[in-house]
Structure 1
């Protein structure tokens, strides 16, 4: 029942958790005969719970998130919640892994399409910042409230940060020590975290020039990194 990396949902797999209302009439299941298979019903209920969780945790904070509030926001019963998740951390993991899978897939797509490694880093950062700015609820859940959750969720955050190492394995780069890569990734995470925690998620794209420069400077030098300070 727990959320796992790469686990597909029944539908909406390219939509970040929390971006849709769990009570959207288009996602309602009519009582009585509705013609839907049990698997389809379960998938819809699971998606609604995941969206509701992200909405509640981003609005109230993890410390004030309860299963009752999540099920109320999802329009389902607690029995339905426990049919899909063991506890709130389990639901958080499902939302977190799905959202990070989507985010990393979008970043990887533009990174691989870029003509050079610096251009790829710039494109990947631009995509990440734009996605998080458009989805402030997922941004807050995944960057801020994740630190208030249980140890399994906090470990998932660490595991996901290591996935960003793939962007530093380009053939055009000399081998980069893992500690250096992790320090760069950690610096980016910190900058985005601060802006999200202070409620300025919509301003995240403004970080693009500085963050691109921050990544490139120690690896390709000032001359190659400086032009990106004026790029948007």
Structure 2
């Protein structure tokens, strides 16, 4: 298959140098990840000199942002036309099909928009935020224009964006983007599962979907505190203890440095300084920065899943189990900001393997939705795509908070996230009642605990001696 540059080069019109650089960035980034593409490779791919590169762009990130905007237009342009030109009742199907067909036709553009852009610098963050803000505003405008007798679609627009991104990214990674158009009906069934009565207030984006009282539980953190530095010289400690201590220090230091500097700017020198180990010690454990990053990304995975599973099975019924599981997940994420930032944000800057692992981590949580398909008769026929969409929706919201450094208040989102998780299976209206009930029970327990603590503190002390 010829590249876009090769196809365009056959035209009689001479390609502009700026356009060729943009297209080279798209094609090379889609293959290797934008952080691993050098300016020399971009110039070679575009057939221009480095002098020409700097005449067109200040640096590589400026070119990456330009490539992103070009790709966003290719992906969202057809969808935008459907939003404005289609019959109101047909708009969701037309818009989703238009976007999926655009990605199937141009998977490189899809990968830039839905995968690579998440690993960009601050200018890319701004460009991506602007693009998705406009996309979400158009969707919100469509929802507001719905007739008064139409069902109310009660789901956050950010959740819809996250579901789409997760589904698209998975198919792009598997090179099965040609299957996307066939998923339109299944995607619409998931979306329709959040429908409520006409004229109903959207609960999922109201203050009622926020947790007013955040209960605290003694949840062990998946990442221990930085181990104490080993004493110098001969200390007689077991070799396994020495290796474990050094390795743990390096992994935690990698997370801390990448959260502060970003993966691209992080250096091995910074990591060993934070870990308080010698540089040769780093290379005894890891071949390079990327391997240390990948190990840090994987480090808490099994612990997190084990803790979530334990919490899940402590609930009385499936909705309560989802509440407990998500509660513990949010607590673990908030308790470990550095490792969470690495796993949720910086992973998109560390290359295809880190991205693959991040997507698999998200997908692993679909196991907790399986019981939902048995919750009631109507949920048995839902497509399994619902699980992928829900996982993508939840992690999108969490990832946005991680990106903006708002993990400390993540627990307040628990009611909203539980609603997103259970509504397709219970029905949206019943999901609201269930979540409100769990909120009330938690608030009552917290209040009773506080009263008990106050009563205990006021109890007289009797001296029998």
Which TM-score bucket, shorter chain as reference? 0.7 to 0.9
- CA drift at 1:217: 0.9
- CA drift at 1:227: 2.5
Q: Does 1:151 align with 2:352?
A: yes
Counterpart of 1:108 in structure 2 is 309
Task: Find the partner of 2:366 among 142, 165, 179.
Answer: 165
2-structure distance, mates of 1:191, 1:63: 24
Task: Find the partner of 1:136 among 316, 337, 359.
Answer: 337
1:175/1:135 Cα in 2 relative to 1: closer, same or farther (>3 Å)?
Answer: farther
Q: Does 1:30 align with 2:254?
A: no
1-structure distance, mates of 2:276, 2:349: 25
Task: Find the partner of 2:225 among 20, 33, 48.
Answer: 20
Counterpart of 2:430 in structure 1 is 224
Conserved? CA contact 1:16–1:138, under 8 Å:
no
SS in 2 for 1:199: coil
SS in 1 for 2:299: helix
Question: What count of residue pairs does the alignment treat as equivalent?
Answer: 214
- Which consecutive residues of structure 1, in runs of 5 or more, have no partner in the other structure? 1-13
SS in 2 for 1:169: helix
Counterpart of 2:275 in structure 1 is 74
- CA drift at 1:228: 4.2
Counterpart of 1:211 in structure 2 is 417
Task: Find the partner of 2:328 among 127, 152, 155.
Answer: 127
Task: Find the partner of 1:57 among 250, 254, 258.
Answer: 258
- CA drift at 1:114: 1.1
1:49/1:72 Cα in 2 relative to 1: closer, same or farther (>3 Å)?
Answer: same
Task: Find the partner of 2:408 among 193, 197, 202.
Answer: 202
Q: Does 1:48 align with 2:249?
A: yes
- CA drift at 1:36: 1.0
1-structure distance, mates of 2:400, 2:347: 14
Aligned-residue Cα RMSD (Å) equals 1.8
- CA drift at 1:15: 4.4
1-structure distance, mates of 2:318, 2:435: 16
2-structure distance, mates of 1:99, 1:83: 22
2-structure distance, mates of 1:89, 1:181: 31
Q: Does 1:181 align with 2:387?
A: yes
SS in 1 for 2:264: helix
SS in 2 for 1:76: coil
SS in 1 for 2:313: helix
Q: Normalised by the size of structure 2, how large is the TM-score?
A: 0.44
Counterpart of 1:9 in structure 2 is none
SS in 2 for 1:115: coil
- CA drift at 1:100: 2.2
2-structure distance, mates of 1:54, 1:65: 10
2-structure distance, mates of 1:162, 1:175: 21
Deviation >6 Å, runs of 4+: none
- CA drift at 1:176: 5.1
1:15/1:44 Cα in 2 relative to 1: closer, same or farther (>3 Å)?
Answer: farther
- Which consecutive residues of structure 2, in runs of 5 or more, have no partner in the other structure? 1-219, 443-465
Conserved? CA contact 2:221–2:332, under 8 Å:
no
The structure number with the bigger radius of gyration is 2
Task: Find the partner of 1:95 among 296, 299, 305.
Answer: 296
- Identify which of structures 1 and 2 has the higher relative contact order when contacts are C-alpha pairs closer than 8 Å and 6+ apart: 1
Counterpart of 1:84 in structure 2 is 285
2-structure distance, mates of 1:199, 1:157: 19
- CA drift at 1:126: 0.9
